[in-house]
Chains A and B, each alone.
Chain A
Amino acid sequence: MPRLKVESDIKNIGMEGNMSLSLKVWRQSNKDAAGGFENYKLDHVSPDMSFLEMFDVLNEQLIEEGKEPVSFDHDCREGICGACSMYINGRPHGPLRGVTTCQLHMRSFKDGDTIVVEPWRAQAFPVIKDLVVDRDAFDRVISAGGFVSVNTGNAQDANALPIAKEAADDAFAAAACIGCGACVAACKNASAMLFVSAKISQLALLPQGQAERSIRAEKMVAQMDAEGFGACTNTGACSAECPKEISLENIARMNREYIGAKFSSSAV
């Protein structure tokens, strides 16, 4: 880690590049307030900045001007926590495939661009402030059945249960979902099928998930519906925009799981 050139000076932060941008950013003070776009000009943007670092510069500029900075969710800034959630020029996480907002860099934009930034829009994800939305609905869907019911201390030796590499790899691919909600934001129906199906798939593919396989599919789908997510019309926007490229196959598998469960039980 090279020395932070703080003394040389802090005022230069964000003054090292030569891109100029116009930003149209959604501002909304709380979930009940009316929101609207605000326009900002930003100069000296470096192509090496991440999109969120560009927002850091904007916010420092706003503070300097005595204006309130833009609220946005972010945390790990390495594409894995799933917190960042900007809808950029009409696409969740912006123009690149398989990339979260925090891993999107300004080299993907051109000098003079106008960039429109909105929050995720879905009935099940109410706006908290500006670009920050409430995604608690996802946690409640997991609580409904996205687990294996195994208390600590119950486990047998890990290698007592061989799992075919292909099954383990497929389960891992589904489990790579970061729960960001881009699938919901991308869908014209605000459907959460990709998110829910990724968890159902992961556990349906593994022997550990078999005991609760049916009830899991039923309960998670019921909770998904109760949260107000829309129906799936198979457009595939969710998977196309997913920063972890979670496959549509998961939705097909979830449909099989759900129909199978419905035929065989009356639990939910």
Chain B
Amino acid sequence: MATSSRLDAKIPQGSIESKWSKYRSSVPLVNPANKRNLEIIVVGTGLAGASAAATLAELGYKVKAFCFQDSPRRAHSIAAQGGINAAKNYQNDGDSVYRLFYDTIKGGDYRAREANVHRLAEVSGNIIDQCVAAGVPFAREYGGLLSNRSFGGTQVQRTFYAAGQTGQQLLLGAYSGLQRQVGMGTIKMYNRHEMLDVVNIDGKCRGIIARNLITGELERHGGHAVLLCTGGYGNVFYLSTNAMGSNVTAAWKAHKRGAFFGNPCFTQIHPTCIPVSGEHQSKLTLMSESLRNDGRIWVPKKKDDNRPGNAIPEDERDYYLERRYPAFGNLVPRDIASRAAKERCDAGYGVGTSKLAVYLDFAAAVERYGRGEANKNNIHNASDADIVTWGKAVVKEKYGNLFDMYKQITGEDPYEVPMRIYPAVHYTMGGLWVDYNLMTTVPGLYSLGEANFSDHGANRLGASALMQGLADGYFVIPYTIGAYLASEIRTGKISTDHEAFVKAEAEVRERIETLLRIQGKTSPELFHRRLGKIMWDKCGMARNAQGLKEAIEEIRQLRRDFWSDVKVMGTANYFNPELDKANRVADFIELGELMCLDALDRNESCGGHFREEYQTEEGEAMRDDENYMYVSAWEHKGPENWELHKEELVYENIKIAQRSYK
């Protein structure tokens, strides 16, 4: 297989350890006087966007930042719970940049680009330093040093955390840096603005069309580079752990203007989420993977066992992850844990009223911690009740906010009964295809964080999303953007009077007017639900060729129905969330078709992409390295029409192997 001539990943020469350091020292620079005249547009203010905007402004560029939320602090990075990885080796347990690199490539089932992932591992330590310097209150030990815990797919403790609110603390850190620059006038912040198109002039990205969500006005913004830091597209499934507003629209507009979409079918189903309670459900809530440090996952050994969890004796429980994967046990990667839960439930061993749940049980951890406390305090005749009380206190300190959240949502107390959990859509590894500089196939248009496809292959390891978002924003783009902007210093201010801006704005206006004109019978919400059902049933945790072909036809029909029967209330010239939603759902529908197309193309199972036709006898994913060791990069050619380009993945440093966590 050869890489398509349309794709150049621009990976620097040299050994894997030296690529980034050499490149960083040789990438063209832009002098301070010129930086002041170069404008950069940053769309999205999560970890990637906020850190990029703040850092680029510190460097002297003129930055405009956009978010659809009412404040940049509300970007969905805020909801990340468990932690952020870094190869600091503070625990002296044998961690290194190489191990983080290796774990990430292996965790991604050998479908990520080596050079990008190694760079990610190299800068991981700098991220922790930067966040601490900015005042992020990570968890600490009594000696005052930083605390770590384990996450799935690793055998070292390299995850830094702030209770179950790590994303919140990291985002507020990046946000404070962003607001500092706003206060200094180097960033102009546009809250409640949604990007509805990118504008290309002579083959280069030169700006965006944004809609002021309060007034409905369309605005043209010019820039020498545009950074899309707009997150993932998990909401294509309707139910996911994403925020209600998370959407693919910005990335999708870029795709339709020439940016190739990479590995769209690679989605992550997170194993530990609170099960659906009814049809009113609008979103799903994650219970952090960190809980698998201490929680043990099990189902009854007997089918259709209706006894409450606590009433089932120890020898009638099947700790199926510990049974199947003794080396990693409950800390296998997410894709494996999710499939194993589905397998047990499909086989009839599920628990709860829906039977679509497994137990996550802390009783053993409570006892272990309780005994530890007794030992610490030299109490040798503690009663069982005391041990449980002390153990619960330790568990509360570690996971209190998660337990509270569980109780609030389910009405059950997880200190007393085992949690019920089930997999749910959580993250999308796929995204806009980018080269080593994080530039898409459109010159001047970049993509950072979850919005790009780059570092996680076919499955992301826990605590790696926060790492990637901040790596891209703090430590990668500030260097790599120089490779492009150094040649833009003579361009001058971008005029938004150019016909390309006029045309793009007119097209956006026409689409909005069309949406309002249809006045059909079905709300955007119901179209979204219908799409979600097709995607979950046929392009979800398990897929097959037959189902995917059906899904493509169903989605095409859904698209036609949408454009003839959608009912959007209100008008376009004031605050109208229904219209915003209709716009987003329309793009999700198109994306859904591409995801199915991609899943159908990939005749193998790898990571989160599980094609039922390709599995081992034990039900593990069966890769086909000979034919599918590539990144699929889809070019939009028109409605329902895409062309596939392939970027061959070359592994020079890591030996390809069947992924095993046994």
Contacts and interface: CB of A to CB of B under 8 A. Distances in A.
Contacts of A138: 71
B182 interface: yes
A142 B175 contact: yes
A12 B286 CA distance: 26
B183 A152 contact: no
Contacts of A107: 411
Nearest to B575: A129
Contacts of A81: 69, 74, 76, 78-79, 243
Contact of A73 (B70, B90, B165): B70
B169 A82 contact: no
A39 to B, nearest CB: 19
B461 interface: no
B70 A83 contact: yes
Contacts of A53: 280-282
Interface string B269-291: 10001011111111111100000
Contacts of B191: 136, 139
Contacts of B237: 1
A155 B129 CA distance: 6
B135 interface: yes
B474 interface: yes
Contact of B280 (A16, A132, A176): A16
Contacts of A75: 69, 74, 76, 243-245
A4 B280 contact: no
Contact of A168 (B128, B139, B411): B139
Interface residues of A, number: 91
Contacts of B526: 10, 60
A202 B168 contact: no
B273 A152 contact: no
Interface in B517-551: 523, 525-526, 529-530, 532-533, 536-537, 540
Given A139-B182, A139-B189, A159-B146, A179 B73 contact: yes
A71 B286 CA distance: 26
B32 interface: no
Contact of B172 (A48, A129, A175, A206): A175
A1 B356 CA distance: 7
Interface stretch (B15-23, B381-389, B419-427, B436-444): B419-427
Interface stretch (B51-59, B292-300, B363-371, B646-654): B51-59
Given A4-B536, A71-B575, A159-B146, A82 B422 contact: no
A154 B144 contact: no
Contact of B575 (A128, A162, A168, A209): A128
Contacts of A175: 137, 162, 169, 172
B319 interface: no
B72 interface: yes
Interface in B3-19: none
Interface stretch (B506-514, B566-574, B632-640): B566-574
Interface string B466-491: 00000000110010000000000000
Interface string B160-201: 001101011100100111011011000001010000000000
B409 interface: yes
B575 A4 contact: no
A29 B574 CA distance: 9
A29 B283 CA distance: 28
A168 to B, nearest CB: 4
A113 to B, nearest CB: 18
B276 A143 contact: no
Contacts of A165: 140-142, 144
Interface in B211-250: 214, 237-239, 241, 243-245
Contact of B478 (A71, A152, A159, A176): A152
Given A135-B70, A143-B182, A162-B143, A76 B138 contact: no
A156 B133 contact: yes
B73 A139 contact: yes
B126 interface: yes
A161 B575 contact: no
A146 B72 CA distance: 14
A10 B522 CA distance: 11
A48 B238 contact: no
Nearest to B51: A152
A176 B162 CA distance: 10
A56 interface: yes
Contacts of A206: 135, 137
Chain B: number of interface residues, binned into ranges:
35 or more
Contacts of B283: 77-78
B239 A1 contact: yes
A1 B424 contact: yes
A184 interface: no
A105 B191 CA distance: 29
B660 interface: no
Interface in A118-134: 128-129, 132, 134
A68 B578 CA distance: 9
Contacts of B55: 151-152
B279 A5 contact: yes
Nearest to B168: A80
A109 interface: no
Nearest to B72: A139
Interface string B132-160: 11110111111111100000000000000
Given A75-B245, A162-B144, A163-B140, A3 B179 contact: no
Contacts of A67: 569
A192 B58 CA distance: 29
B408 interface: yes
A1 B144 contact: no
Contact of B133 (A78, A150, A164): A150
Nearest to A78: B285
B474 A52 contact: no
A169 B474 CA distance: 26
Nearest to A161: B132
A151 B356 CA distance: 48
Contacts of B533: 3-4, 6-7
B354 interface: yes
A103 interface: yes
Interface in A80-94: 80-83
Nearest to B478: A152
Interface in A154-187: 154-159, 161-165, 168-169, 171-172, 175-176, 178-179
A2 B474 CA distance: 39
A46 B525 CA distance: 19
B53 to A, nearest CB: 11
A234 interface: no
Given A1-B273, A150-B134, A158 B146 contact: yes
A148 interface: yes
A147 B134 contact: yes
B94 interface: no
Interface string B339-364: 00000000000000010100000000
Nearest to A63: B523
A-B pairs, top 4 by smallest CB distance, nearest first, are A162-B144, A143-B183, A155-B133, A147-B176
Interface of B: 51, 54-55, 58, 69-74, 76, 78-79, 88, 90, 126, 128-135, 137-146, 162-163, 165, 167-169, 172, 175-177, 179-180, 182-183, 189, 191, 214, 237-239, 241, 243-245, 269, 273, 275-286, 354, 356, 404-405, 408-409, 411, 422-425, 474-475, 478, 523, 525-526, 529-530, 532-533, 536-537, 540, 567, 569-570, 574-578
24 contacts: A5-B279, A6-B533, A48-B277, A56-B280, A60-B525, A63-B567, A69-B577, A77-B243, A78-B405, A82-B74, A83-B69, A148-B176, A149-B180, A150-B133, A152-B130, A157-B129, A158-B88, A158-B128, A158-B129, A164-B140, A164-B144, A172-B137, A175-B137, A209-B135
Given A48-B280, A179-B73, 15 more contacts: A1-B273, A2-B356, A29-B574, A56-B280, A63-B567, A77-B285, A81-B69, A134-B70, A139-B73, A147-B134, A152-B130, A163-B140, A163-B144, A165-B140, A172-B169
